[in-house]
Structure 1
């Protein structure tokens, strides 16, 4: 089974409200429809199944198999729909906002505010690029590379080069 965020789950991550505690929020961020419950268990610990079940009961998560079974669309279009839906500036913005929120660093807090305030697409691209440039100073190289890899999956192709290109030295 592969847990996937519902619209409600994406909304609660974007609003940064008090609906979820840090552990629930972290689990919800990791529920991308690609990771199995076993993989999530390795990342979140022994109680991952119970945590995912709770998020599912509260309507934040849907198991990918359940979503495909309840859909009336042909299987090929069901598989293609999530990829297209996830490749958006909003998805990239939410992801980086959540990554910055997990960092306990004053620079991350400032970058979070900057990205949250960005409304124009060009401002969002600049804020994403700035956040990525500061991430190596706040986290490990491996973590930074995973974030860059995930952004490579969710960013619209038109913005990949602008956001992921290294800053001039």
Structure 2
């Protein structure tokens, strides 16, 4: 399948607004009739087939009838997958590094340098938890909550329970002192 933009897609992209989110707009830009589904999956993530199908169904993309027949149909397990941005430890690390950069003191610089050093998975999760705890102690409660939510959105799903456990163990250690 090599999806291409329809007139509706071109009009929507030129309008710089509308009902499409950034992810859908990016998909429309990348669907130039030259890229195949495999390449789009590499660029957009594993849920690209569902995104492309939805854009075809809504009239933004066109695909040949034979290509549409070979497109994978969403299974119940696949259709519940999140369609937001891809999750990664790198994205989480970059996000928290940016938040730490706003605090121009030695301790914030220490946490930022630790996040930017090459760490194994376990050490990276601990560094993320430590940096988050530091930020939560420095900012208003509402901002701290938003930072925590954005961090959880950026982390791979399998890392979220570990981060929560590390944060809980830090809370327990603080309560004991």
2:151 alignment partner in structure 1 = 151
Cα distance in 2 for residues equivalent to 1:121 and 1:155: 12
Instruction: Quote the offset at 1:75 in angstroms.
Output: 7.2
Q: Quick check: 1:100–1:108 contact (8 Å CA) kept in 2? A: yes
Cα distance in 2 for residues equivalent to 1:106 and 1:82: 38
2:98 alignment partner in structure 1 = 98
Instruction: Quote the offset at 1:67 in angstroms.
Output: 1.7
2:29 alignment partner in structure 1 = 70
Q: Deviations over 1:105-156 (max 9, x none)?
A: 3211110011111421111111001011111222111111101001111111
Q: Greater shift after overlay, 156-165 or 128-137? A: 156-165
Q: Quick check: 1:68–1:75 contact (8 Å CA) kept in 2? A: no
Structure exhibiting the larger radius of gyration computed from Cα positions: 2
Q: Over the residues paired in the alignment, what is the CA RMSD in angstroms?
A: 3.0
Number of aligned residues? 109
Cα distance in 2 for residues equivalent to 1:130 and 1:123: 10
Q: Which segments of 5 or more consecutive residues in structure 1 lack a partner in the other structure?
A: 1-35, 38-62
Q: Quick check: 1:111–1:127 contact (8 Å CA) kept in 2? A: yes
Q: Quick check: 1:97–1:112 contact (8 Å CA) kept in 2? A: yes
Cα distance in 2 for residues equivalent to 1:156 and 1:95: 14
1:26 alignment partner in structure 2 = none
Q: Quick check: 1:100–1:109 contact (8 Å CA) kept in 2? A: yes
Q: Quick check: 2:24–2:51 contact (8 Å CA) kept in 1? A: no
Q: Quick check: 2:96–2:128 contact (8 Å CA) kept in 1? A: yes
Q: Deviations over 1:69-91 (max 9, x none)?
A: 223357733587963x5211111
Q: Quick check: 1:105–1:138 contact (8 Å CA) kept in 2? A: no
1:126 alignment partner in structure 2 = 126
Q: Quick check: 1:118–1:127 contact (8 Å CA) kept in 2? A: no
Runs of 4+ in 1 over 6 A off after TM superposition: 79-82
TM-score, with length taken from structure 2: 0.52
